[in-house]
Structure 1
Amino acid sequence: MTAEIIDRLQITAAIEREGEPVLRLDGVNIRNQITGKDVVRGISFTLKKGKVVGIVGESGSGKTLTCRAVLGILPELFSVSGGTIDLLGHDVLSLEPKQWTQLRGTSITAVFQDPGSYLNPSMKVGAQIAEVIRTKRGVTRQEAKQRTLELLADVRLRDPELVYGQYPFELSGGMLQRVLIAAAISLDPKILIADEVTTALDVTVQAEVLDLLADLKERHGLSLIVVSHDLAVVAQICDEVLVLRDGEVVERGATAEVLRRPKHGYTRLLIGEHHLYGLERFLDAKPTTPKPRLVDSRPILIRAEGVCVSYDSSTSRRQALKDATFVLRQGESIGVIGETGSGKSTLARALIGLVTPSAGQISIAGEDITGFSAARWRDFRKRGIIQYVFQDPLRSLDPEVTIADTLAEPLLLQGMLSKSEIRDRIYFRLDQVRLQRNLLNRFPGELSGGQRQRIAVARALVTEPKVLILDEPVSALDSANRVQILEILNSLRANGTSLMFISHDLGSVAGVTERVMVLYRGSIVETAATDDVVNRPGHLYTRLLVGSAPTVTSIGSIDRRSRQALREQLEAAS
C-alpha cells in the first residue's frame, strides 16, 4: 500500500499544471498533549504550484509547529487534533512513519534556521549530500558525487569541488545555508519549506539566499513556504502572506494587498514598527539634497586613530582591522555595520581590551588605553566606564546564578555601594529595561530570549557606564522583542549614554543611530549620517548593503540583477 500511495503522489506531481494546488491545509489544529489545549487553531491556506506563501509571526505564534505538521515531524508531545492536510491531492495525516520517510525529500522537503545543527560536523558536506542521493536514488558513488557537484553549483557556491571536500566548520553561515538548500533539492521535491533561513545572516547574504530561492523556484518549478518573524523578508519573495498570532491566522491575502491595506491591528503594528525602527524611517520621506551638518560640539568619549589588529596563525598573519579612525561623542549613537568577518567585533573588542591593537591609538574618556597592562585594564573595567553587551545572552549569563546575583556582581566588585543601594540600583535598571522584579530569583534558562537580552543590557547599565557597546543585540530576536530592545536603546541615548551599535542589519542600525560606519574586509569604507548612508550610499559595498536590506515597501529596493551586478563589481574591485 505504501508504494501505491507514493506512486500516486509522484504521478500526481508529474502531471501538475501551473497554478494548481500542491498543498492545502483546512482548519488544522495542533494540540499540546500535556495541557490538552490546542496551541495552533484553525490554520487554513492553499499553496499552488510555482507560488510562494509566507508565514509571519513572533516567537511562539505557531509558525514552525504548522510547518512541522505539514512535514509529519511534530514534537513528541504535540499532535494534529483537527483539520486536514492534503499533499498533492492526497490526505497524508494518516501515513505511517515509514511512509513519511519515503515522501520526504521527493515530494516535500525543508530547510531550517541553523544549518550547522543539521549537518554532521565530522563528515564532509559533499559526502553528506551524496549519501542522501545514493540512498534514495540507488545510484553509484561517482554518479552521486557528480550530482552533488551540480547541486553545489546550482546554489551558487563559487568552487563546488572545494566545498565538496570541506567540513561544516570550514564554511560561513551563508555557505552552510546554501549547502543545506542543495541537500534539500537533491531529490527534486515539489515543495520546499524555508523556516527562518535568513535569520542571523548578514543583510547581503540574506538577500543572496532570498534571490537564490526565487531563482530555484523559477528554474525548478518549486512551490515555497517561507517562514519568518520579519515581515520585510516575507515581502521580498512571497505571493501570499499569512500573519499568525497566538496560534491563529489574524490576516491573510496577497502580499502587496496586506502590506498596503492591512486590516488587523497586529499586522498594522508589524508594519508600523518598520517605519519607526527600520530603513523606512528615512526612505518614506527621501530628501533630494543632503542636509547641512552642524558642527558637533559634544565632548569626545572615544577617539581611535589608525587602529590595526592582526591575528597570527602557524603559517600566516591576517589583518582583521586596518587603519580604523573615528570618534564617538557623549550622548551619540553610532552604528557599525558590515558582513561577517569585516572587523566589526574586532574593533569593539579592541576598545575594551579583549584584543591588543598592532598599531594605532585609542583613548576613552580622556585616558589613553593603548598600552594598558593587565592590572590597569582590571582597574579600568571595574570603574564601569565602558560596558559590552554580547550577541548571545545565554552564553554571557552564568546559567547557575540567579538574575539578582548576576546584576549585583559588578556593583559588589566595585565595592562602593551598600546592600540597599545595590538593591535600589538593580530595581531602577530593571524598570529601565521594562522587566518585572519577580524575575530576580529566576535563572537565565527560565527566561525568554528577549528577557535574557534585556537582562544583559541591565547588567551592563548597573555601573552607570558612559559608553555602551552592543554587539548584534537583536540579530536573533523576533519583531516584538527587537522593537523593545531598540526602544530601550533610544531611551538610553536620550538620557546621555553613548552607544556603539554593531549589527549586520541595516534596518535596526537605522532605527537607533545618528551616524553609521561601514566596514568592508577590515577597513572603514564609509562614515556618514545615517540618512545619508541610506539615501546616498557612496561606496560600492554600501550601495549593495542598502539595496539588499529588506523593507515592507518597494522604496529603495533594487532587483536581483542589479544586486548581482554590484556583487560582481565588488569582486572585480577587490
Structure 2
Amino acid sequence: MTPSVAGPADRDAVDRDTVLTLTDVRIHNDAADEELVHGVSLRLRRGGVVGIVGESGSGKSLTCKAVLGVLPEHIEVAGGSIELLGRDVTGLSRPEWTALRGTSISAVFQDPASYLNPSIRVGKQVQEVLRVKQGLSRAAAKQRAIELLDAVHLRDPDYVYEQYVHELSGGMLQRVLIAIAISLEPEVLIADEATTALDTTVQAGILDLLVELKERIGLSLIVVSHDLAVVAQLCDEVLVMREGHVVEQGPTAAILHAPQHEYTRLLVAEHEQYGLSAAASSASGPRLPVSVSVLEPVSVSVSVPAPRSSSAPESTEPVLRVDGLGVHFGRGRGRKQALEDASLVIRPGETVGVIGESGAGKSTLARAVLGLVRATAGSVHVGGRDVTHLSGRERRAFGRDGVVQYVFQDPLRSLDPEHTVAASVAEPLRIRGGFDRAAIDAAVRRQFRAVRLDESLLDRFPGELSGGQRQRVAIARALIGEPRLLILDEPVSALDSANRVAILELLRELRSTVDVAMLFISHDLGSVAGISDRTIVLYRSRIVEAGDTARIVTAPTHPYTRLLVGSAPTLTSGPTDRVQRERLRAGLAVS
C-alpha cells in the first residue's frame, strides 16, 4: 500500500493525535553481532490501543524494552527512531530515561511478584514512588497510595496497603503494579503479558480495568501478548511478529477475519481449534469415540459419574475413583478446608478436565490422589486398589510401580538440571529395576519418538531446550513406565500460544496411541475444552458443576461456571463490560 502524503496542517493534526511512533526500529545484539528486531514501525494514537502478538522469541518484549529505554546490556537500537509525545527518545541517556519513565510512559509485566519487594508492605511501595517522583509528604503520599489502590478496584484498599507480597493473590498483585504504573499519570502504558498465567476470571478483571483506565484517565495502551484472543478483545490495531519481523499489521477486525500472512492464519486457526468455539461445536474437535452422558444441573456439590460408551463400558474397572474426598490443613481456628466432598470417576482412555481459579483445590485434588497430602475424609481408589491411607513403605512401592504419573507446570523445575534429558526420561525405569541398559536405552528412544522429539536432543541438558521441548521431555518421562493414569497439572500454562497448541495436540495424539487415562488440571478453560471429554468445575474447594465439556461451555448452570465461560476471551469477544455485567449477575466476589 502506498502511504498518503499529508500536508503541513494534516501533519500537525496527526502529531497532536499521536503519542508514540516507531519508525523502522532495528535492535542489535552487539555481543553476538546479531540483529534481533528488523524494522518495526507503529503509530499509537492518543487514547488508542495497539496490540503486539507473537510467540516467544518473536521480538515483542525487546521492542517494548526499547520504547522504555531498558534494553539489556550489549543490546541497543541500531537504526530507526522512537518518538514519544513529540520527542525523539532514541538516544536518550540513562538519567533522561529515568525522568521520563513513570511520568510519560510506564509499564506492567508478567509475574508481578518478581517486581515487588517481598520485605516491604505493598502500600509503602506505591507510596515510595509518589514521594521520590512528586516530593509528597509521607501522609499525603499514603493517602494518594490508598486512593490509587481503590482506583484499581482492590477491595478494602486500607487493608491491602498494609499487606506483604506473599499475602496477596496474583490478580491483586497485578492491580498493585497497575496502581504504581499509573501513579504519576503517564500518557502511555505498556502491558507486557500482564495477564499471562492468571486465572480466567482474574484475567478478565485485569482486562476490564485496563479498558476502564483508558476511558477514565485517557491512557494510550500497548498490549503485548502471545494470546491472540486477549489482543482481539482490547486492541484497535495489531502487529503480528515472528522471529524479529512484523509479518502483518492493521486494524484488529481485518487481521482476525481476513489474515493475509501464513503465520497469522495459523494463529487464528490454532485458537479456533483449541478454545471454547471448538468445544461448543464438537467437544474440542475430532477425538476418541467416547460418548458422555450429560449431568443434571446442580448448585453445590456433585459426583462425576463415568460415561457410558462402547470404549469404556460400565463394567470396566475405573482407573480412578474418588469418593467424598476431603482435605484440610491446620487445626482449630487456623483450620482451612482445601477440598470438600469431591467425587469423580475416570475410566480407561478417558480425559477429565479440572477447572477453577487459584486456591480452588485443583492441585490439592491431584496431590491427594498421589498421597502427597493426607485425605481427611473420603477415599481414593486407583485401579481398584484403595490408596487413601497407605503407609510410607506402601506409598513408595506404589510410586515405584508407576501406575500414576505426574506432569508439572514448570518442567525446568521438575527435571534435574545436572542430568541429560535421556537420563531424566530413563529414571522411572531405573528406580523400578529389572531392566538392562539396552532395554532402557531402547525405551527412552521410543518415548522420544512418541513425543515428537529428535534423538539428537538425548544428550542435552534441560537448560539447553525450549519450554515446549522440556515439557515433551517431562511427558516422555511420565509415560515411559506405561502408567494407567497421567495427571497433568497446568502443563501448558507456562507456554506461549504455539507451544501450548503443540502440547495439546501431542496429548490428543497420545490418547489414540497410548492406553492411558488423563486428569487434566488448568485454570484456562480453553485448554480444558481442547482436550477433555468431561469437565469438573471447582470453586472454593467444592465441585460446583460437572458434565460433558461441550455442555459445560455452552450451557453452564452454576453462577461461577457462567462467570468462567463469560470471562474467557475469544476471537469474537464483545466489549469487556459484558464480563462485568456477567460478574454482577453471578454475584460472586472475584479478586
* Match of residue 308 from structure 2: 295
Residue identity in the other structure for 2:143: Q
CA spacing shift, 1:474–1:513, aligned 2, 3 Å: same
- In structure 1, what is the Cα distance between the partners aligned to 2:160 and 2:574? 37
Q: Which moved more, 1:85-94 or 1:338-347?
A: 85-94
Structure 1 stretches lacking a partner, 5+ long? 1-14
Q: 2:449 aligns with which of 423, 427, 431?
A: 431
1:507 counterpart = 2:504: no
Residue 262 (structure 1) aligned to one of 259, 267, 273: 259
Relative to structure 1, the CA distance from residue 318 to residue 286 in structure 2 (aligned partners, 3 Å threshold; closer, same or farther) is: closer
Moved more, 388-397 or 317-326: 388-397
Q: State the Cα distance separating 1:553 from its structure 2 match.
A: 2.0
Q: Which amino acid aligns with 2:199?
A: D
Structure 1 contact 336–516 (Cα < 8 Å) conserved:
yes
Which one is further off, 170-179 or 313-322? 313-322
Offset of 1:447 from its aligned partner?
1.4
Separation (CA, whole Å) in 1 of partners of 2:238 and 2:16: 17
Kindly report which structure 2 residues correspond to 1:175-186, keeping only aligned pairs within 5 A, or say none. 175-186=172-183
Find runs of 4+ consecutive structure 1 residues off by over 6 angstroms: 15-19, 555-558
Mapping 1:89-100, distance limit 5 Å: 89-100=86-97
Q: Is the 8 A contact 1:470 1:500 kept in 2?
A: yes
Rounded to whole Å, the distance in 1 between the matches of 2:380 and 2:451 is: 30
Corresponding residue for residue 299 of structure 2: none
Alignment partners' CA distance in 2, 1:68 and 1:251: 21
SS in 2 for 1:50: coil
Once the two structures are TM-superposed, the CA of residue 234 in structure 1 deviates from its matched residue by: 0.7
Moved more, 520-529 or 484-493: 484-493
Q: Output aligned runs, 1:516-555, within 5 Å.
A: 516-554=535-573
Alignment of 1:449-460 (within 5 A): 449-460=467-478
Question: In 2, Cα distance between the equivalents of 1:406 and 1:25?
Answer: 46
CA shift for structure 1 position 563? 3.0
CA drift of 1:36 comes to: 1.7
Q: Which amino acid aligns with 2:562?
A: R
Query: Which AA in structure 2 matches 1:135?
Result: V
- Residues 134 and 205 of structure 1: CA distance in aligned 2, closer, same or farther (over 3 Å): same
Deviates more, 1:305-314 or 1:502-511: 305-314
Letter in 1 for 2:583: Q
Match of 2:101 in 1: 104
Deviation at 1:115, TM superposition (A): 0.7
**CA shift digits 1:516-573 (9 cap, x unpaired):** 0000000000111010000000100000000011111238987143233145x1249x
More displaced stretch, 493-502 vs 550-559: 550-559
Residues 18 and 49, structure 1, Cα contact 8 Å, conserved in 2: no
User: What corresponds to 2:582 in structure 1?
Assistant: 563
| Distance across 2 between alignment mates of 1:430 and 1:165 | 50
Letter matched to residue 365 of structure 1: G
Q: Tell me the number of residue pairs that the alignment of Structure 1 and Structure 2 aligns.
A: 555
Q: Secondary structure at the match of 2:570?
A: coil
State how far apart, in whole Å, the 2-side matches of 1:295 and 1:556 are.
40
Aligned to 2:580, the other structure's residue is in SS state helix
For 2:76, which of 67, 79, 86 is the aligned residue? 79
State which of 194, 198, 223 in structure 1 corresponds to 2:195: 198
CA offsets 1:321-360 (integer angstroms, 9 cap, x no match):
0000110010000100000000000000000110110010
Question: What is the aligned counterpart of 1:329 among 343, 347, 365?
Answer: 347
Structure 2 residue 238 is the aligned partner of structure 1 residue 220: no
The separation in 1 between residues aligned to 2:439 and 2:194, in whole angstroms, is 46
Of 211, 231, 238, the match for 1:234: 231
Q: Give the Cα–Cα distance (whole angstroms) in 1 for the partners of residues 331 and 69 of structure 2.
A: 47
Partner of 1:276: 273
Which position in structure 1 is the counterpart of 2:60?
A: 63
Distance 2:20 2:85 in 1: 6
Q: Distance in 2 between matches of 1:488 and 1:286?
A: 17
1: CA distance, partners of 2:535 / 2:360:
15
Q: Distance in 1 between matches of 2:16 and 2:388?
A: 64
> CA, structure 1 residues 263+523, in 2 after alignment: closer, same or farther (shift >3 Å)?
same
Matching residue of 2:490: 472
- Contact kept in structure 2, 1:19 and 1:51, CA below 8 Å: no
Q: Kindly indicate whether residue 246 of structure 2 is the aligned counterpart of residue 252 of structure 1.
A: no
State the alpha-carbon separation in 1 of the partners of residues 13 and 338 from structure 2.
Answer: 52
1:440 to 445, 458, 464: 458
Q: Does 1:43 align with 2:40?
A: yes
Give the unaligned 5+ runs of structure 2.
1-11, 285-290, 295-306
Please report how far the alpha carbon of residue 206 of structure 1 lies from its aligned counterpart in structure 2 after TM superposition: 0.4
In the TM superposition, residue 160 of structure 1 has moved relative to its aligned partner by 0.5
Task: Confirm or deny: 8 A CA contact 2:22 2:83 kept in the other structure.
Answer: yes
Structure 1 residues 100 and 263: alpha-carbon distance in aligned structure 2, compared to 1, 3 A threshold:
same
**Structure 1 contact 16–49 (Cα < 8 Å) conserved:** no
TM-score for both structures, normalised by structure 2: 0.91
User: CA offset at residue 284 of structure 1?
Assistant: 5.6
How far is 1:426 from its partner? 0.6
Percent identity over paired residues: 57
The amino acid across from 1:150 in the alignment is: E
**Counterparts in 2 of 1:310-329, with a 5 A limit?**
310-312=328-330, 315-329=333-347
Change (3 A) 1:556 1:279: farther
What residue number does 2:8 align with?
Answer: none
